[in-house]
Amino acid sequence: MRRSRRRPLLAVATAALTAAALGLTQLGGVQSAYAATLFSDDFTDGDTAGWSKSGGTWSVVADDSPALHQAKADTDNARLFAGTSTWTDYTVQARVKALTLPADGAVALLARASGSTTYYRLALLPGNQVRLEAVRSGAATTLGTLSRTVATGAWYTLRIEAAGSTVRGWVDGVPVGSGTGSIATGRIGVQTRHATARYDDVTVTSGATTPTTPPTGTPPPTTTPTATPTTTPPASPTPTPTGTPPAGDTVVVAKDGSGAYTSVQAAVDAVPAGNTTGRTIVIRPGTYRELVTIPADKPHVTLVGSTGDARDVVITYDNASGTPKPDGGTYGTSGSASVTIDGSDFTARHLTFANSFDEAAHDYSAEQAVAVLTRADRLVFDNVRFLGNQDTLYHNSANSSAIGRAYFRDCYVEGDVDFIFGRGTGVFDRCEIRSLDRGSSSNNGYVTAPSTMIGNPYGLLFVGCTLTTDSAAAQSVHLGRPWHPSGDVNAIGQVVFRDSVLGAHVKDSPWTDMSGFSWRDARFFEYRNSGPGATVTADRPQLTDAQAPTYTAQQYLAGSDGWNPIH
């Protein structure tokens, strides 16, 4: 497998690195049960080793970084293939740039290529079109088409996901379409037709969606939890498109003025109130120092980083709870948020949200500094980074009687004190949760501080995640403590860490009290974790095998509408 230049935010990759650093011999169920990298190539080796050619003139050239180049324009089928013919369910992604694109041209990414003329194809086309097709023996059937700008000389991230008989396609995180087909296995590929193009950062990932075997070496549960859900969500609902409505307007934000807007908030402001269709805001690379609010009357908004690398687009501000307001007083915790999401059915992909407040430079008594505050329902965060220190991610809901659900996939969250907190229902799927060192040998903070309302059976679920640290001492970080806002006795926090890898920084007694409220009265559980921080003790309630099926990602997110954003 070729090496990748860009660090993917996939929990499996992070878990593997963490395990190596910690001297683990295996990752148990996490490694085998979650997405694994089958193939990647960033062409830094300077050649096309690992690829098989079918037409065209292919080479590796310099384009800021090395990239695959197809230079022959007078051929109707220039193709390269990689991988094996037995690959079944997988996702292939690549950065793609058309150099020339005539009226009959195409620049494409291929999946499940079972021969040189049978595959699924996602293509950039002239006339500002992107099309997903099933091609059999050279005959193409359209599965979906998206109208959007396709400019020569510009990079686009194409992604195809094939699962069972279903295939889906995206460009820069925006859905192109989906459909069903009978092409069951095959390699990945790249293709041009009467066009010249470049490709980079080709990645193929595959894996099951839920663990099937417990990690080896995890001691059996010693404590049976007493708290169980009070309601039973519908079982295994069909995935719904709630978080991704039909494609509507797509606009571009660019700091250099090359897009329709130079700030993210200006693009959000342009979304009409009462919006009912998908509004996608594609953000080009840069650091956007601004406050961003998605209002409650503007649902169905999607923010997408244009490159596919979450590090390339950063939205940040530096208010803290104790920061003085121009009109008097201070901002408070909620007011410190760099990004506030009040509009439901919101999606963010391939970008970074940060609060860059410098604790060392300010002598404030209240240093909570929120990167993102959510107060809405049906939110999706895919390959998103959340950066901060205390109170990084405030996952809440519109009010104490409302449910606010969010799905975090392949994300990275860092902080020190209570850096994932609130009463929202959230699933963290294959994420890296990183505790920052506060310089203490015994207490470097708390990962969670849930305030789940007593009537809500589901708070925070961490599944297939990896808990890491920059340099915090061993046995110095708590998994969580129960937050009772204003002493609210009905806020009974609920957290489950399951099938995850816990670093040595996690305490053997990982739960602790908060503001006079005992952690033992909260709903804190673990199940089948592994790693040096996963030692089961009397202070670590474990789910039984019979209880575990009630605490899955779909059970947390289904609600009363059967919402299923899991992919």
Which one is catalytic: 172, 391, 416, 429?
Answer: 391
Question: Token pair of 491, please?
Answer: 């806020």
Q: Which ranges of 229-324 would DSSP assign to H, the alpha helix?
A: 264-269
509, 528, 378, 537: which is closest to 462 by C-alpha? 528
Q: H/E element holding 557?
A: helix 553-558
**Cα–Cα distances in Å, from 452 out to 297, 411, 479, 482, 524?**
25, 22, 16, 9, 11
Helices vs strands, H then E, count in the chain: 5, 38
Amino acid at 279: R
Neighbours of 214 (CB within 10 A): 17
Structure token digits, residue 507 = 């305490």
Strand duo 196-206 + 90-100: pairing: antiparallel
Distance, in Å, from the CA atom of 542 to the CA atom of 497, rounded to the nearest integer, reads 10
Q: Provide the CA 405 distance to its chain's centre, in angstroms.
A: 15
CA distances from 508 to 441, 511, 539 (A): 15, 9, 8
CA angle 331, 332, 333 (to 5 degrees): 125
Question: DSSP letter string over 216-253?
Answer: TTPPPP--------SS-PPSSPPP--TTSPSEEEEEEE
Count of Cβ atoms closer than 10 Å to residue 162 Cβ: 25
Q: How far apart are CA 281 and CA 268, in angstroms?
A: 8
| Start-to-end Cα distance in the chain | 24
| Nearby residues of 327 by Cβ (< 8 Å), 6 or more positions away | none
Whether 418 is a known active-site residue: answer: yes
C-beta separation of 207 from 135 below 8 A:
no
Query: What is the sign, positive or negative, of the torsion defined by CA atoms of 86, 184, 380, 554?
Result: negative
Closest CA to 88 of 197, 8, 21, 187: 187
The answer to whether 42 is a known catalytic residue is no
Helix (H, G, I), strand (E, B) or coil at 567: coil
Catalytic annotation, pick one of 200, 345, 410, 418:
418
Residue positions annotated with a catalytic role:
391, 418
